[in-house]
Chains A and B, each alone.
Chain A
Amino acid sequence: MLYFTLASKAYARNLQYRGAHMVHNIASAMFGYMYACIWIGLGKDHVLGDYGTQGMVSYIAFTQSSLWISGFITNGLGIPQAVRTGLISLDLLRPVHLFTHLMAREWGQIAYQFLYKSLPIYLLYVVVFRLQFSGSWLTLIYVGVGLFGAAYLAICMNYLIGVSAMWTTESSWLHWGNHAMINLLAGFFIPLEWLPDWLERFAWLTPYPYLLYVPTRIFLGFGDVSLLWGTLFWCALMTSGCLLATQWLRRKVEVQGG
Protein backbone atom coordinates (compact mmCIF):
# COMPACT_ATOMS: atom_id res chain seq x y z
CA MET A 1 0.00 0.00 0.00
CA LEU A 2 2.87 2.35 0.84
CA TYR A 3 4.48 1.71 -2.51
CA PHE A 4 1.20 2.28 -4.33
CA THR A 5 0.74 5.58 -2.48
CA LEU A 6 4.27 6.68 -3.42
CA ALA A 7 3.63 5.82 -7.07
CA SER A 8 0.22 7.52 -7.18
CA LYS A 9 1.64 10.67 -5.55
CA ALA A 10 4.39 10.84 -8.17
CA TYR A 11 1.75 10.39 -10.86
CA ALA A 12 -0.45 13.12 -9.36
CA ARG A 13 2.49 15.53 -9.03
CA ASN A 14 3.21 15.18 -12.73
CA LEU A 15 -0.41 15.86 -13.62
CA GLN A 16 0.13 19.45 -12.48
CA TYR A 17 2.56 20.04 -15.34
CA ARG A 18 0.59 18.58 -18.22
CA GLY A 19 0.73 21.82 -20.22
CA ALA A 20 4.51 22.17 -20.00
CA HIS A 21 4.93 18.49 -20.83
CA MET A 22 2.91 18.92 -24.00
CA VAL A 23 5.59 21.37 -25.25
CA HIS A 24 8.14 18.69 -24.45
CA ASN A 25 6.09 16.22 -26.45
CA ILE A 26 6.37 18.50 -29.47
CA ALA A 27 10.17 18.55 -29.11
CA SER A 28 10.27 14.78 -28.71
CA ALA A 29 7.96 14.26 -31.69
CA MET A 30 10.19 16.59 -33.73
CA PHE A 31 13.20 14.40 -32.99
CA GLY A 32 11.36 11.28 -34.11
CA TYR A 33 10.02 13.04 -37.21
CA MET A 34 13.57 14.08 -38.13
CA TYR A 35 14.91 10.56 -37.69
CA ALA A 36 12.02 9.18 -39.73
CA CYS A 37 12.83 11.72 -42.49
CA ILE A 38 16.41 10.44 -42.55
CA TRP A 39 15.18 6.88 -43.13
CA ILE A 40 12.65 8.05 -45.71
CA GLY A 41 15.49 9.85 -47.50
CA LEU A 42 17.69 6.73 -47.32
CA GLY A 43 14.81 4.57 -48.46
CA LYS A 44 14.69 6.47 -51.75
CA ASP A 45 18.13 5.14 -52.73
CA HIS A 46 18.42 1.90 -50.77
CA VAL A 47 16.40 -1.14 -49.78
CA LEU A 48 15.99 -0.99 -46.01
CA GLY A 49 16.32 -4.71 -45.23
CA ASP A 50 13.27 -6.64 -43.98
CA TYR A 51 11.71 -3.45 -42.72
CA GLY A 52 11.32 -1.40 -45.90
CA THR A 53 10.87 2.36 -45.67
CA GLN A 54 7.46 2.24 -43.98
CA GLY A 55 8.72 -0.43 -41.59
CA MET A 56 11.65 1.76 -40.57
CA VAL A 57 9.30 4.69 -40.01
CA SER A 58 7.20 2.42 -37.75
CA TYR A 59 10.40 1.33 -36.01
CA ILE A 60 11.45 4.92 -35.27
CA ALA A 61 7.91 5.87 -34.20
CA PHE A 62 7.85 3.03 -31.67
CA THR A 63 11.36 3.57 -30.28
CA GLN A 64 10.85 7.33 -29.99
CA SER A 65 7.59 6.81 -28.08
CA SER A 66 9.09 4.07 -25.90
CA LEU A 67 11.95 6.34 -24.86
CA TRP A 68 9.55 7.88 -22.34
CA ILE A 69 9.18 4.48 -20.69
CA SER A 70 12.71 3.13 -20.72
CA GLY A 71 14.91 6.10 -21.58
CA PHE A 72 13.79 9.42 -20.20
CA ILE A 73 13.21 8.65 -16.56
CA THR A 74 14.34 10.70 -13.55
CA ASN A 75 18.08 11.30 -13.64
CA GLY A 76 19.61 8.92 -11.10
CA LEU A 77 16.11 8.54 -9.57
CA GLY A 78 16.76 11.90 -7.88
CA ILE A 79 19.62 10.55 -5.74
CA PRO A 80 22.25 13.09 -6.96
CA GLN A 81 19.92 15.92 -5.94
CA ALA A 82 19.30 14.27 -2.57
CA VAL A 83 23.05 13.94 -1.99
CA ARG A 84 23.57 17.59 -2.81
CA THR A 85 20.81 18.79 -0.48
CA GLY A 86 21.59 16.28 2.26
CA LEU A 87 18.15 14.69 1.95
CA ILE A 88 19.77 11.32 1.26
CA SER A 89 20.59 10.91 4.96
CA LEU A 90 16.89 11.28 5.76
CA ASP A 91 15.96 8.86 2.97
CA LEU A 92 18.35 6.28 4.42
CA LEU A 93 16.74 6.66 7.84
CA ARG A 94 13.27 5.78 6.58
CA PRO A 95 11.89 2.39 7.57
CA VAL A 96 11.73 1.36 3.93
CA HIS A 97 14.50 0.18 1.62
CA LEU A 98 15.98 3.03 -0.44
CA PHE A 99 15.77 1.06 -3.70
CA THR A 100 12.13 0.02 -3.39
CA HIS A 101 11.16 3.46 -2.09
CA LEU A 102 12.66 5.26 -5.08
CA MET A 103 11.47 2.59 -7.47
CA ALA A 104 7.84 2.97 -6.35
CA ARG A 105 8.06 6.72 -6.92
CA GLU A 106 9.52 6.16 -10.37
CA TRP A 107 6.76 3.76 -11.39
CA GLY A 108 4.30 6.61 -10.85
CA GLN A 109 6.42 8.81 -13.08
CA ILE A 110 6.63 6.11 -15.77
CA ALA A 111 2.88 5.50 -15.66
CA TYR A 112 2.32 9.21 -16.21
CA GLN A 113 4.84 9.37 -19.03
CA PHE A 114 3.28 6.35 -20.73
CA LEU A 115 -0.18 7.95 -20.72
CA TYR A 116 0.75 11.57 -21.39
CA LYS A 117 3.91 11.25 -23.47
CA SER A 118 4.39 7.87 -25.16
CA LEU A 119 0.77 7.41 -26.25
CA PRO A 120 0.18 10.96 -27.63
CA ILE A 121 3.50 10.92 -29.49
CA TYR A 122 2.79 7.52 -31.01
CA LEU A 123 -0.75 8.51 -31.98
CA LEU A 124 0.65 11.63 -33.65
CA TYR A 125 2.98 9.46 -35.71
CA VAL A 126 0.09 7.13 -36.60
CA VAL A 127 -1.69 10.13 -38.13
CA VAL A 128 1.34 11.81 -39.74
CA PHE A 129 2.94 8.66 -41.17
CA ARG A 130 -0.28 6.63 -41.60
CA LEU A 131 1.09 3.78 -39.52
CA GLN A 132 -0.73 0.49 -39.21
CA PHE A 133 -0.53 -2.31 -36.68
CA SER A 134 -1.06 -5.81 -38.01
CA GLY A 135 -0.30 -7.80 -34.84
CA SER A 136 -2.68 -9.63 -32.51
CA TRP A 137 -3.74 -9.03 -28.91
CA LEU A 138 -1.19 -11.62 -27.89
CA THR A 139 1.54 -9.57 -29.57
CA LEU A 140 0.40 -6.54 -27.60
CA ILE A 141 0.61 -8.52 -24.36
CA TYR A 142 4.19 -9.58 -25.18
CA VAL A 143 5.05 -5.98 -26.06
CA GLY A 144 3.57 -4.91 -22.72
CA VAL A 145 5.73 -7.46 -20.89
CA GLY A 146 8.80 -6.31 -22.83
CA LEU A 147 8.14 -2.65 -22.03
CA PHE A 148 7.47 -3.42 -18.37
CA GLY A 149 10.79 -5.23 -18.13
CA ALA A 150 12.50 -2.39 -20.02
CA ALA A 151 11.10 0.17 -17.57
CA TYR A 152 12.30 -1.92 -14.63
CA LEU A 153 15.78 -2.21 -16.16
CA ALA A 154 15.84 1.55 -16.71
CA ILE A 155 14.94 2.10 -13.05
CA CYS A 156 17.79 -0.19 -11.95
CA MET A 157 20.29 1.50 -14.26
CA ASN A 158 19.31 4.95 -13.06
CA TYR A 159 19.49 3.80 -9.47
CA LEU A 160 23.09 2.67 -9.97
CA ILE A 161 23.89 5.98 -11.72
CA GLY A 162 22.26 7.86 -8.85
CA VAL A 163 24.20 5.93 -6.24
CA SER A 164 27.46 6.97 -7.93
CA ALA A 165 26.68 10.52 -6.77
CA MET A 166 27.86 9.38 -3.34
CA TRP A 167 31.41 9.31 -4.68
CA THR A 168 31.53 11.84 -7.53
CA THR A 169 29.95 15.22 -8.27
CA GLU A 170 29.83 14.37 -11.97
CA SER A 171 27.22 11.62 -11.92
CA SER A 172 25.18 13.62 -14.43
CA TRP A 173 27.80 12.63 -17.00
CA LEU A 174 27.02 8.98 -16.32
CA HIS A 175 23.39 9.85 -16.98
CA TRP A 176 24.27 11.36 -20.37
CA GLY A 177 26.67 8.49 -21.07
CA ASN A 178 23.80 6.10 -20.42
CA HIS A 179 21.67 8.03 -22.92
CA ALA A 180 24.42 7.82 -25.50
CA MET A 181 24.57 4.05 -25.01
CA ILE A 182 20.78 3.83 -25.37
CA ASN A 183 21.04 5.67 -28.69
CA LEU A 184 23.74 3.35 -29.93
CA LEU A 185 23.30 -0.05 -28.30
CA ALA A 186 19.57 -0.19 -27.58
CA GLY A 187 18.71 0.04 -31.28
CA PHE A 188 17.05 3.42 -30.88
CA PHE A 189 17.91 4.74 -34.34
CA ILE A 190 19.56 1.77 -36.06
CA PRO A 191 18.34 -1.82 -35.71
CA LEU A 192 21.03 -3.90 -34.02
CA GLU A 193 21.44 -6.30 -36.94
CA TRP A 194 22.80 -3.39 -39.01
CA LEU A 195 25.56 -2.60 -36.54
CA PRO A 196 29.08 -3.85 -37.37
CA ASP A 197 29.40 -7.43 -36.21
CA TRP A 198 31.71 -6.65 -33.25
CA LEU A 199 29.41 -3.89 -32.00
CA GLU A 200 26.30 -6.01 -32.34
CA ARG A 201 27.95 -8.81 -30.36
CA PHE A 202 29.03 -6.29 -27.73
CA ALA A 203 25.52 -4.81 -27.54
CA TRP A 204 24.03 -8.23 -26.76
CA LEU A 205 26.42 -8.56 -23.82
CA THR A 206 24.78 -5.52 -22.24
CA PRO A 207 21.19 -4.91 -21.05
CA TYR A 208 20.66 -2.13 -23.60
CA PRO A 209 18.94 -4.16 -26.38
CA TYR A 210 16.21 -5.11 -23.91
CA LEU A 211 15.33 -1.45 -23.34
CA LEU A 212 14.10 -0.71 -26.86
CA TYR A 213 15.14 -3.18 -29.54
CA VAL A 214 13.44 -6.29 -28.15
CA PRO A 215 10.00 -4.68 -27.49
CA THR A 216 10.17 -2.90 -30.87
CA ARG A 217 10.97 -6.08 -32.82
CA ILE A 218 8.10 -7.89 -31.07
CA PHE A 219 5.75 -4.98 -31.81
CA LEU A 220 6.69 -5.01 -35.50
CA GLY A 221 6.10 -8.74 -35.67
CA PHE A 222 9.75 -9.66 -36.29
CA GLY A 223 10.79 -10.46 -32.77
CA ASP A 224 11.42 -13.76 -31.13
CA VAL A 225 9.35 -13.77 -27.93
CA SER A 226 11.96 -15.98 -26.23
CA LEU A 227 14.17 -12.87 -26.09
CA LEU A 228 12.02 -11.83 -23.13
CA TRP A 229 13.95 -14.41 -21.09
CA GLY A 230 16.93 -12.12 -21.60
CA THR A 231 14.91 -9.27 -20.14
CA LEU A 232 14.14 -11.42 -17.12
CA PHE A 233 17.79 -12.40 -16.70
CA TRP A 234 18.96 -8.78 -16.74
CA CYS A 235 16.18 -7.71 -14.37
CA ALA A 236 17.38 -10.30 -11.85
CA LEU A 237 21.04 -9.35 -12.28
CA MET A 238 20.40 -5.62 -12.01
CA THR A 239 18.23 -6.09 -8.93
CA SER A 240 21.13 -7.86 -7.22
CA GLY A 241 23.43 -5.02 -8.31
CA CYS A 242 21.10 -2.40 -6.85
CA LEU A 243 20.74 -4.24 -3.53
CA LEU A 244 24.52 -4.67 -3.24
CA ALA A 245 25.12 -1.01 -4.10
CA THR A 246 22.67 0.06 -1.39
CA GLN A 247 24.44 -2.11 1.15
CA TRP A 248 27.76 -0.56 0.14
CA LEU A 249 26.61 3.05 0.23
CA ARG A 250 25.16 2.59 3.73
CA ARG A 251 28.67 1.98 5.11
CA LYS A 252 29.71 5.60 4.83
CA VAL A 253 27.46 8.50 3.86
CA GLU A 254 28.93 11.88 3.00
CA VAL A 255 26.49 14.57 1.94
CA GLN A 256 27.39 17.80 0.24
CA GLY A 257 24.65 20.03 1.55
CA GLY A 258 22.29 20.01 4.48
Chain B
Amino acid sequence: MNAKSWFSLYRLLIRTSIRSRMQYKFNFVLASVLAALIQISEFLMVAIVLYKFGAIQGWSLYEIGYLFAVITLSKTLYRTFADEVHHLEKYLVGGELDQLLTRPLPVLLTLMPQSFRIMLGEVLQGGFLLCWSLGAMMSRGQVNWVSVPLTLLAICTGAVIMFSIGLATATIGFWTTRITELQNITEDAARTAAQYPLSLYPKWLSSLLLIVIPVGLVNYVPALYILRGELGPWVPGVVAVAAGLCLYGSLRFWQFGITKYQSTGS
Protein backbone atom coordinates (compact mmCIF):
# COMPACT_ATOMS: atom_id res chain seq x y z
CA MET B 1 0.00 0.00 0.00
CA ASN B 2 1.48 3.36 -1.01
CA ALA B 3 1.39 6.67 0.86
CA LYS B 4 -1.50 8.02 -1.24
CA SER B 5 -3.71 5.04 -0.44
CA TRP B 6 -2.83 5.32 3.25
CA PHE B 7 -3.78 8.97 3.22
CA SER B 8 -7.13 8.39 1.51
CA LEU B 9 -7.89 5.52 3.89
CA TYR B 10 -6.92 7.73 6.82
CA ARG B 11 -9.35 10.42 5.59
CA LEU B 12 -12.09 7.83 5.21
CA LEU B 13 -11.56 6.58 8.77
CA ILE B 14 -11.65 10.16 10.07
CA ARG B 15 -14.90 10.86 8.20
CA THR B 16 -16.42 7.70 9.68
CA SER B 17 -15.30 8.74 13.14
CA ILE B 18 -16.86 12.21 12.74
CA ARG B 19 -20.13 10.75 11.46
CA SER B 20 -20.38 8.35 14.39
CA ARG B 21 -19.75 11.22 16.80
CA MET B 22 -22.37 13.46 15.20
CA GLN B 23 -25.06 10.82 15.82
CA TYR B 24 -25.26 12.29 19.34
CA LYS B 25 -25.53 16.00 18.63
CA PHE B 26 -26.66 17.03 22.11
CA ASN B 27 -23.66 15.27 23.62
CA PHE B 28 -21.36 16.96 21.12
CA VAL B 29 -22.70 20.42 21.99
CA LEU B 30 -22.55 19.70 25.74
CA ALA B 31 -18.98 18.42 25.49
CA SER B 32 -17.90 21.45 23.43
CA VAL B 33 -19.47 23.97 25.81
CA LEU B 34 -17.95 22.30 28.86
CA ALA B 35 -14.54 21.99 27.20
CA ALA B 36 -14.62 25.73 26.44
CA LEU B 37 -15.63 26.42 30.05
CA ILE B 38 -12.72 24.34 31.34
CA GLN B 39 -10.31 26.13 29.02
CA ILE B 40 -11.59 29.54 30.05
CA SER B 41 -11.31 28.70 33.74
CA GLU B 42 -7.73 27.51 33.16
CA PHE B 43 -6.81 30.80 31.53
CA LEU B 44 -8.70 32.77 34.16
CA MET B 45 -6.38 31.30 36.78
CA VAL B 46 -3.43 32.78 34.92
CA ALA B 47 -5.22 36.03 34.08
CA ILE B 48 -6.30 36.60 37.69
CA VAL B 49 -2.70 36.35 38.87
CA LEU B 50 -1.77 38.99 36.28
CA TYR B 51 -4.79 41.11 37.22
CA LYS B 52 -3.66 41.07 40.82
CA PHE B 53 0.08 41.46 40.40
CA GLY B 54 0.55 42.97 36.92
CA ALA B 55 3.41 41.51 34.92
CA ILE B 56 5.03 38.20 35.90
CA GLN B 57 8.80 38.69 35.81
CA GLY B 58 8.44 41.21 32.98
CA TRP B 59 5.89 39.17 30.98
CA SER B 60 2.69 41.13 30.29
CA LEU B 61 -0.88 39.80 30.25
CA TYR B 62 -0.82 39.69 26.43
CA GLU B 63 2.48 37.80 26.33
CA ILE B 64 1.25 35.23 28.82
CA GLY B 65 -2.06 35.01 26.93
CA TYR B 66 0.04 34.23 23.85
CA LEU B 67 1.98 31.49 25.69
CA PHE B 68 -1.30 30.00 26.85
CA ALA B 69 -2.94 30.21 23.40
CA VAL B 70 -0.01 28.62 21.54
CA ILE B 71 0.24 25.65 23.88
CA THR B 72 -3.56 25.21 23.90
CA LEU B 73 -3.76 25.19 20.10
CA SER B 74 -0.75 22.86 19.78
CA LYS B 75 -2.33 20.44 22.22
CA THR B 76 -5.65 20.74 20.38
CA LEU B 77 -4.01 19.92 17.07
CA TYR B 78 -2.24 16.91 18.58
CA ARG B 79 -5.33 15.59 20.37
CA THR B 80 -7.62 16.18 17.38
CA PHE B 81 -5.64 13.79 15.21
CA ALA B 82 -4.09 11.47 17.77
CA ASP B 83 -6.38 11.38 20.80
CA GLU B 84 -6.23 7.61 20.94
CA VAL B 85 -2.45 7.70 21.41
CA HIS B 86 -3.22 9.48 24.68
CA HIS B 87 -5.77 6.77 25.50
CA LEU B 88 -3.57 3.81 24.60
CA GLU B 89 -3.92 2.43 28.12
CA LYS B 90 -7.48 1.22 27.52
CA TYR B 91 -6.24 -0.75 24.47
CA LEU B 92 -3.42 -2.28 26.52
CA VAL B 93 -5.54 -3.15 29.56
CA GLY B 94 -8.48 -4.53 27.58
CA GLY B 95 -6.32 -6.29 24.98
CA GLU B 96 -8.06 -4.32 22.20
CA LEU B 97 -4.72 -3.64 20.55
CA ASP B 98 -4.81 -7.23 19.28
CA GLN B 99 -7.54 -6.28 16.81
CA LEU B 100 -5.47 -3.40 15.45
CA LEU B 101 -2.43 -5.64 15.05
CA THR B 102 -4.34 -7.89 12.66
CA ARG B 103 -5.16 -5.05 10.23
CA PRO B 104 -3.06 -4.56 7.09
CA LEU B 105 -1.89 -1.11 8.16
CA PRO B 106 0.71 0.27 10.55
CA VAL B 107 -0.76 0.11 14.08
CA LEU B 108 -0.28 3.81 14.67
CA LEU B 109 -2.17 4.70 11.50
CA THR B 110 -5.02 2.44 12.53
CA LEU B 111 -5.03 3.71 16.10
CA MET B 112 -5.06 7.45 15.38
CA PRO B 113 -8.38 7.73 13.48
CA GLN B 114 -10.23 5.46 15.95
CA SER B 115 -11.61 8.57 17.59
CA PHE B 116 -11.23 11.81 15.68
CA ARG B 117 -12.07 14.53 18.18
CA ILE B 118 -13.60 17.81 17.09
CA MET B 119 -12.30 20.03 19.88
CA LEU B 120 -14.46 23.05 19.10
CA GLY B 121 -14.22 24.53 22.60
CA GLU B 122 -10.43 24.49 22.64
CA VAL B 123 -10.16 25.86 19.08
CA LEU B 124 -12.52 28.74 19.82
CA GLN B 125 -10.91 29.60 23.13
CA GLY B 126 -7.31 29.23 21.93
CA GLY B 127 -8.06 31.06 18.67
CA PHE B 128 -9.79 33.93 20.43
CA LEU B 129 -6.98 34.28 22.95
CA LEU B 130 -4.34 34.24 20.23
CA CYS B 131 -6.14 36.90 18.13
CA TRP B 132 -6.71 39.04 21.20
CA SER B 133 -3.13 38.87 22.48
CA LEU B 134 -1.46 39.23 19.06
CA GLY B 135 -3.88 42.02 18.09
CA ALA B 136 -3.10 43.96 21.26
CA MET B 137 0.65 43.55 20.81
CA MET B 138 0.39 44.60 17.14
CA SER B 139 -1.54 47.75 18.03
CA ARG B 140 1.17 48.62 20.57
CA GLY B 141 3.83 48.05 17.93
CA GLN B 142 5.49 45.21 19.85
CA VAL B 143 5.07 42.77 16.93
CA ASN B 144 4.21 43.05 13.23
CA TRP B 145 2.39 40.84 10.69
CA VAL B 146 5.44 38.51 10.37
CA SER B 147 4.55 37.18 13.80
CA VAL B 148 1.37 35.59 12.37
CA PRO B 149 3.00 32.99 10.07
CA LEU B 150 5.73 32.43 12.67
CA THR B 151 3.07 31.75 15.29
CA LEU B 152 1.24 29.32 12.99
CA LEU B 153 4.55 27.54 12.45
CA ALA B 154 5.12 27.45 16.22
CA ILE B 155 1.67 25.90 16.72
CA CYS B 156 2.40 23.19 14.14
CA THR B 157 5.89 22.39 15.44
CA GLY B 158 4.43 22.50 18.96
CA ALA B 159 1.79 19.94 17.99
CA VAL B 160 4.53 17.66 16.63
CA ILE B 161 6.52 18.00 19.88
CA MET B 162 3.47 17.32 22.03
CA PHE B 163 2.54 14.34 19.87
CA SER B 164 6.09 13.02 20.26
CA ILE B 165 5.96 13.39 24.04
CA GLY B 166 2.54 11.70 24.09
CA LEU B 167 3.71 8.86 21.85
CA ALA B 168 6.90 8.24 23.85
CA THR B 169 4.86 8.17 27.09
CA ALA B 170 2.28 5.83 25.56
CA THR B 171 5.06 3.52 24.33
CA ILE B 172 6.24 3.00 27.90
CA GLY B 173 2.84 1.34 28.38
CA PHE B 174 4.11 -1.67 26.38
CA TRP B 175 6.22 -2.47 29.44
CA THR B 176 4.12 -1.04 32.27
CA THR B 177 0.55 -1.40 30.86
CA ARG B 178 -0.67 1.50 33.03
CA ILE B 179 0.42 4.93 31.86
CA THR B 180 -2.10 7.40 33.29
CA GLU B 181 0.15 8.37 36.19
CA LEU B 182 3.11 8.94 33.89
CA GLN B 183 0.96 10.99 31.50
CA ASN B 184 0.08 13.15 34.47
CA ILE B 185 3.72 14.15 34.71
CA THR B 186 4.86 14.23 31.07
CA GLU B 187 1.72 15.70 29.52
CA ASP B 188 -0.50 17.42 32.09
CA ALA B 189 2.01 18.80 34.60
CA ALA B 190 4.51 19.75 31.88
CA ARG B 191 1.86 21.54 29.81
CA THR B 192 0.54 23.39 32.86
CA ALA B 193 4.09 24.48 33.69
CA ALA B 194 4.59 25.81 30.16
CA GLN B 195 1.57 28.12 30.51
CA TYR B 196 3.89 30.42 32.47
CA PRO B 197 7.32 31.76 31.45
CA LEU B 198 9.92 29.09 32.24
CA SER B 199 12.11 31.74 33.87
CA LEU B 200 9.79 31.48 36.90
CA TYR B 201 11.07 28.03 37.75
CA PRO B 202 14.33 26.85 39.31
CA LYS B 203 17.10 26.10 36.83
CA TRP B 204 16.76 22.31 37.08
CA LEU B 205 13.03 22.45 36.38
CA SER B 206 13.26 24.83 33.42
CA SER B 207 16.10 22.72 31.97
CA LEU B 208 13.92 19.62 32.40
CA LEU B 209 11.09 21.35 30.53
CA LEU B 210 13.42 22.33 27.70
CA ILE B 211 15.46 19.16 27.26
CA VAL B 212 13.84 16.07 28.80
CA ILE B 213 10.14 16.93 28.33
CA PRO B 214 10.60 19.73 25.79
CA VAL B 215 7.30 21.60 26.24
CA GLY B 216 9.34 24.80 26.52
CA LEU B 217 10.03 24.47 22.79
CA VAL B 218 6.30 24.55 22.07
CA ASN B 219 5.65 28.10 23.20
CA TYR B 220 8.30 29.66 25.46
CA VAL B 221 11.33 29.53 23.14
CA PRO B 222 9.38 30.62 20.00
CA ALA B 223 7.77 33.44 22.04
CA LEU B 224 11.19 34.71 23.12
CA TYR B 225 11.96 35.41 19.46
CA ILE B 226 8.50 36.22 18.04
CA LEU B 227 7.38 38.56 20.81
CA ARG B 228 10.61 39.85 22.27
CA GLY B 229 13.17 39.53 19.48
CA GLU B 230 15.51 37.61 21.82
CA LEU B 231 17.84 34.75 20.85
CA GLY B 232 17.79 35.20 17.03
CA PRO B 233 15.98 34.51 13.74
CA TRP B 234 17.31 30.94 13.82
CA VAL B 235 14.78 30.05 16.54
CA PRO B 236 11.87 28.86 14.31
CA GLY B 237 14.24 26.74 12.20
CA VAL B 238 15.92 25.17 15.21
CA VAL B 239 12.58 24.47 16.89
CA ALA B 240 11.32 22.84 13.66
CA VAL B 241 14.44 20.65 13.52
CA ALA B 242 14.02 19.77 17.22
CA ALA B 243 10.37 18.85 16.54
CA GLY B 244 11.50 16.62 13.66
CA LEU B 245 14.07 14.93 15.89
CA CYS B 246 11.51 14.42 18.65
CA LEU B 247 9.11 12.86 16.15
CA TYR B 248 11.78 10.60 14.69
CA GLY B 249 12.95 9.51 18.14
CA SER B 250 9.43 8.81 19.41
CA LEU B 251 8.48 6.85 16.26
CA ARG B 252 11.59 4.68 16.60
CA PHE B 253 10.82 4.16 20.26
CA TRP B 254 7.23 3.20 19.35
CA GLN B 255 8.46 0.72 16.73
CA PHE B 256 10.74 -0.85 19.32
CA GLY B 257 8.12 -0.79 22.07
CA ILE B 258 5.44 -2.49 20.03
CA THR B 259 7.67 -5.55 19.61
CA LYS B 260 7.43 -5.95 23.41
CA TYR B 261 3.62 -5.88 23.47
CA GLN B 262 1.96 -8.71 25.33
CA SER B 263 -1.79 -9.07 25.15
CA THR B 264 -3.51 -8.62 28.48
CA GLY B 265 -7.21 -8.94 27.73
CA SER B 266 -9.43 -11.98 27.48
Contact-residue bracket for chain B: 35 or more
A189-B34 in contact (CB<8A): no
**Once bound together, how far apart are the Cα atoms of A37 and B197, in whole Å?**
12
Residues of B within 8 A of A38 (CB): 49, 196, 200
Contact A173 B31 (CB under 8 A): yes
Residues of chain A contacted by B38 (CB below 8 angstroms)? 176-177, 179-180
Interface presence of A95 (CB below 8 A): no
Q: What secondary structure prevails in chain B residues at the interface with A? A: helix
The stretch among B51-59, B87-95, B154-162, B256-264 that forms the contact with chain A is B51-59
- Which of B69-77, B127-135, B185-193 is found at the contact surface with chain A? B185-193
Instruction: For residue A221, give the distance in angstroms from its CB to the closest CB of chain B.
Output: 22
From B54, B57, B185, give the contact of A26 (CB < 8 A): B185
- A138 contacts partner chain B, Cβ-Cβ < 8 Å: no
Instruction: List CB contacts (< 8 Å) of A11-28 with chain B.
Output: 20, 23-24, 26-28
Is B27 a contact of A168 with CB atoms below 8 Å?
A: yes
Number of A-B contacts (CB under 8 A): 90
Residues in chain A near residue B57, CB distance under 8 A: 41, 44-45
Decide yes or no: A170 and B184 within 8 Å by CB, A183-B41, A195-B48 being known contacts. no
Q: Check A170/B181 contact, CB under 8 A, given A46-B53, A180-B38, A184-B41.
A: no
Cα-based distance from A24 to B37 in the complex (angstroms): 26
Report whether A180 and B185 are in contact in the complex, using a CB–CB cutoff of 8 Å.
no
Report Cα–Cα, A46/B42, bound state, in Å.
23
Q: Cβ of B192: which chain A residues have Cβ within 8 Å of it?
A: 31, 34
Chain B residues with Cβ under 8 A from A41's Cβ?
A: 56-57, 199-201
Cβ contact of A180, chosen from B31, B42, B56, cutoff 8 A? B42
Q: Are A30 and B35 closer than 8 Å at their CB atoms?
A: no
Q: Is A243 an interface residue (CB 8 A)?
A: no
B234 at interface, CB cutoff 8 A:
no
A30 and B189 within 8 A (CB): yes
Kindly list chain A residues whose C-beta atoms are within 8 Å of the C-beta of B44: 184, 199
User: With A168-B27, A170-B30 as given contacts, are A37 and B185 in contact (CB-CB < 8 Å)?
Assistant: no
Which single member of A44, A179, A183, A196 contacts B45 (CB below 8 Å)?
A183
16 A/B residue pairs, CB under 8 Å, sorted by A: A30-B185, A34-B189, A37-B200, A38-B196, A38-B200, A41-B57, A42-B200, A45-B57, A46-B53, A168-B27, A177-B37, A180-B38, A180-B41, A180-B42, A190-B45, A190-B49
A residues sitting closer than 8 Å to B (CB atoms) are 20, 23-24, 26-28, 30-31, 34, 37-38, 41-42, 44-46, 168-170, 173-174, 176-177, 179-181, 183-184, 189-190, 194-196, 199
Binding site for A on B (CB under 8 A): 24, 26-27, 30-31, 34-35, 37-38, 41-42, 44-45, 48-49, 51-54, 56-57, 178, 181-182, 184-185, 188-189, 192-193, 196, 199-202, 205
